[in-house]
Amino acid sequence: MYPQTTGFEPCATSDPELFFPERTNNFLKITELAKSLCRTCAIQSACRDFALHTDVEGIWGGTDERQRKVIQKKEGIEPYRFVKLVSALIDKMSNAQTTRKKGSEKNESNDDDYWKPSG
C-alpha cells in the first residue's frame, strides 16, 4: 500500500529529481543527500516497506534499488511487479477475446454477455 502522505515530507517539498537521480558524476552525492532527507521523514519506514514490496525505482525510505534488492533477498520478499500484472491482464483479455470469438461463431452473442461473469 502506498504510504499515507501529508505533502510535507522531504520528497514532496524537494526537487523530485533528487530522489530519482541520473547516473552522472554527482550520482553518489545526490543519492546520499536524498537518503539523508529520508532519514528525517516521519513515514520513512512505511515508504521503505512500500518500495520493498513493489519494486519501484529511485530512493524510497532511505534506500536505493541495490539496497532494496539485498533486503528483498535476505528477507525472502518477492516484490509485486507491475509488468507481471500487465502481462497477466493482457493474457486474461486475450483468452477472453478468444472465448468470445468462439462463442460468436456458434451463435451471435450480445456484447453485454462479454461483461457478465461466467459460470
**pLDDT tens figures, 28-69:** 999 999 999 999 999 999 999 999 998 789 999 999 999 999
Instruction: Give the C-alpha distances (Å, rounded to integers) separating 16 from 12, 20, 21, 100, 109.
Output: 7, 7, 9, 45, 50
Assess whether 40 and 55 both reside in one domain: yes
Residue 49, in any domain of the structure: yes
Is 108 in the same domain as 70? no
The cell numbers describing 82, all together, are 507491475
Q: Are both 71 and 88 inside the same structural domain?
A: no
- Whether residue 103 sits in one domain with residue 71: no
Q: What is the residue range of 15's domain? A: 10-75
Q: What are the cell numbers at 115? A: 461483461
118 φ/ψ angles, rounded to the nearest 5 degrees: -85, 160
Statement: the pTM of the whole predicted model exceeds 0.75: no
Amino acid, res. 64: D
Give how many domains the chain has, as a whole number.
2
